Chain A
């Protein structure tokens, strides 16, 4: 394969990654890592570096639109980001001491369940408008656009959500992937935040979490511009297209896409765990 062919193929696959990543709040890593390693035989270290670039590109590429349209909730994002970033640091320290094989398999099974319930759930019901005591104190409730109107929502179970976010960060520090999945699930399920707000706020957060580990990857040489260049440009294009679709899409459709992508991530995790590749 010549350098030009490689760049074009990676660019195309990355556009798909960015599109799905922006729609689901998961970032592009779910697609980029297997596409590079399995389909193109790229060494996992280059793939990890490219995956980090893809997560930041999805996040920053889509966040501009999501923040401007008033989907992402910056207060929720910032508040929960404390837990995620501390979790990521703890996870990175634990990395040498924990069996990541077993962890990957357990996490994979959890994701299978999350995929199943996301597929089963369908349309958002009526939102909870009242925040609970802590949600009110932290002024986390807000409103977001639904069919041209702004609909209010409250936020609950902030403690549980904060704890899950710590876990999300630790997992990303340990396994290098998957923090977006836990973020969306924590906001959607535990904190009862509307689905579109959950995915777009996750999208806002994953870039910050990823940036925290970027220094390590850069100095180790994992971020190689020959691989990362087509990844970044493809992901950005895909993410921009994704934002256009999310704004109009039915929640039911978004949950379907989310469920399928989460399921793929689960399979990826379990297989990697069994083969000892994590």
Chain B
């Protein structure tokens, strides 16, 4: 495994992750617009949505019931995870290259990322 191959694999993974999430969001978007296209859209004042768009469990439950908002949100969460996957893949790739320095560097980034994601309030 050299840098070029690692770059190719990371590029491929990003592409599939992005395409998958875009596909799911498109599906949800079509369902949403098919039903609400003529409804007035106003986002002037903020009102936090329910658990079905704010927690992972709620989002998955809503998507499993094939609800438009749940599907769109699953796709969006998948998209948000693609950069995390990028870092994970870099860890694996550098480890396979036996590049100790950059395996540690990427692990550190992953640890910081995990810290800030888990301390989300």
Instruction: Name A's B-contacting residues (CB within 8 A).
Output: 1-7, 40-46, 53, 56-57, 59-61, 63-65, 67-68, 70, 74-75, 78-79, 81-82, 85-86, 88-89, 92, 138-139, 142, 204, 207-208, 210-216, 218-221, 223-230, 232-233, 236
Contact = CB atoms under 8 A, between A and B. Distances in A.
Interface residues of B, number: 66
7 contacts: A67-B10, A68-B11, A74-B3, A74-B90, A92-B116, A226-B72, A232-B79
B42 to A, nearest CB: 8
Interface on chain B toward A: helix, strand, loop, or mixed SS?
A: helix
A67 B120 contact: no
B113 A212 contact: yes
A4 B35 CA distance: 10
Interface of B: 3-4, 6-8, 10-12, 14-15, 17-18, 21-22, 25-26, 28-29, 32-33, 36-46, 48-49, 53-55, 69, 72-73, 75-77, 79-84, 86-87, 90, 101-102, 105-106, 108-109, 112-113, 115-121
A2 B41 CA distance: 5
B53 A208 contact: no
Nearest to A138: B101
B43 to A, nearest CB: 4
Nearest to B55: A219
Contacts of A79: 102, 105
Contact of A64 (B14, B33, B77): B14
A67 B11 contact: yes
A64 B11 CA distance: 4
A183 B46 CA distance: 31
The 9 closest A-B pairs by CB, nearest first: A215-B120, A221-B48, A68-B11, A225-B72, A207-B83, A4-B37, A6-B41, A64-B15, A64-B14
